Amino acid sequence: MNRLGDVSVLAVIGAGKIGSAIIRSVKKCRRDLTIIATGRREKTLRQAKELGAIPTRDNNRAVREAEVVVLSVKPHHFPVVLKQVDENNWQDKIVLSVMAGVKLSTLKEALKGAIVYRAMPNINALVGLSATAVTTDSNGDKHRELIEELLSCMGTVYWVPEEIIDVWTSLAGSGPAFLAEIVDAMVLGAVAVGMPRDLAYNAILDVLEGTAKLLKTRRIHPVEVRDEVTTPAGTTIRGLITLESEGVKAALMKTIEAASQRATEIGEKIDEAIKKELAKP
């Protein structure tokens, strides 16, 4: 199976925020694809149905009937899902996990006979602009094209070595949350000086989009933009002195480092939990 067009049934185990973003974008790419989506609450199932998926609480059925399975539950719910699915049903399934921290080795150990991929999209998938990293091992080579096509429905795809995924989780997975905080802080700063909130919000979104486009189009280092904007004795340098004295740059660097470490910690915990689960008679 090489292309998304070869797949008849896709299962999304855990149709929450990212799971439903995946359903939405894959449906846009391939309207006729059957998607079985699972959840626990009525609300989750209703939303999945509205997106054109077949909703069910039955994870075992979803895995059994699908050729490709997306695992999008929270990492600590993964052991529960394992208990709910007959272990023989994983055989030969193409499994794409988007769970933070959960390693390929853990997935392979838990999902006997499955061909596993580990990806980290972000919530910008909702607007087709996720920056998604994906990794696999040599077993996964044969379905790379299919996985890339599936993930491309959400935005840009980067194949990376597995060691990169935890820091990607921080930079690009949590990245939208960090950038949203910065946007909010800048809006509040403008409001403090007397600017109407809505105007400040629209302005900063345009600035964010424009700056991203400028950096991407010109392929320049961010400090070049900073230096172009910074006039001697001007306004920008006054702001930059405040950023530096408040330690904002160091705080952001530490933010990425801390969130990456947390992804690694989660992975280790889940690995332990799965090993305990598998060791049970």
Ligand X SMILES: NC(=O)c1ccc[n+]([C@@H]2O[C@H](COP(=O)([O-])OP(=O)(O)OC[C@H]3O[C@@H](n4cnc5c(N)ncnc54)[C@H](OP(=O)(O)O)[C@@H]3O)[C@@H](O)[C@H]2O)c1
- Binding residues (CB under 6 A) for ligand X: these are 13-19, 38-41, 44, 59, 72-75, 77, 80-81, 84, 98-100, 120-123, 173
Closest CA to 92 of 69, 110, 113, 72: 113
Residue nearest to ligand X (CB): 16
Of 48 and 200, which has the nearer Cβ to ligand X? 48
Kindly report each contact of residues 268-273 with a partner whose C-beta sits within 8 Å and lies 24 or more positions away, as own/partner: 268/101, 269/75, 269/76, 269/101, 270/75, 270/76, 270/78, 270/79, 270/99, 270/101, 270/102, 270/106, 271/102, 271/103, 271/105, 271/106, 273/76, 273/79
Instruction: Give the C-alpha separation, 231 to 160, whole Å.
Output: 40
Closer CB to ligand X, residue 30 or residue 262? 262
Least separation in angstroms between CB 12 and ligand X: 9
- What minimum distance in Å lies between the beta carbon of 55 and ligand X? 10
**At residue 257, what is the residue type?**
E
Q: How far is the CB of 119 from ligand X (least distance, A)?
A: 8
Kindly tell me which of 224 and 272 has the beta carbon lying closer to ligand X: 272
Looking up tokens 């609300």 gives 43
Q: Which is nearer to ligand X, 78 or 200 (CB)?
A: 78
Nearer to ligand X by C-beta: 122 or 260?
122
CB of 206 to ligand X, least distance (A): 24
- Nearest approach in angstroms of CB 221 to ligand X is 28
